[in-house]
Amino acid sequence: MDIWHIGGLLLIAICAIRGCKKGFVNTLGEMLAAVFSIAFVYLLHTWAFDALFLTLLKDHTVVIVRVLLCVILYVVLYFVLKAIILSLRIFTGLPIVRGLNKLLGFAVGIVYGIVLVGIIFAFFPFLLKGY
């Protein structure tokens, strides 16, 4: 094992321990917010490079309005998701649910760590050079 594999395993372990401490509801909410953010950026990047750079000199107002609408939509979706997660936290204080919340948080933390390591190695493939 080289330093990058050890670092990846360490990141997964840190995410798992953090997931256990935060619980299932908070960890899943964080993971969903990250996934939605990545999906939003993925859907937006094509438009951003095509529309922003090509039409920036032609019509400034259309570009500014589209960017503002995207930012407002992202903020509204984030707060709606956060409100749903906070409303579910009421149930996580119950004795039986608390233990299950911690256990499932550990499992979701592992998945979150694996996703993070996958993203890191996808964006920096030279780290896996030779494998």
pLDDT score of 34: 66
DSSP 64-81: HHHHHHHHHHHHHHHHHH
Residues 6+ apart with CB under 8 A from 98: 23, 92
Give the domain ranges of the chain: 21-128
Kindly report, residue by residue over 87-101, the tens digit of the pLDDT: 777 777 778 888 888
Beta-strand runs (E) in 16-71: none
Tokens representing 52 are 């922003």
Measured distance CA(38)–CA(1) in Å, rounded: 30
Q: Binning pLDDT at 50, 70 and 90, where does residue 24 land?
A: confident
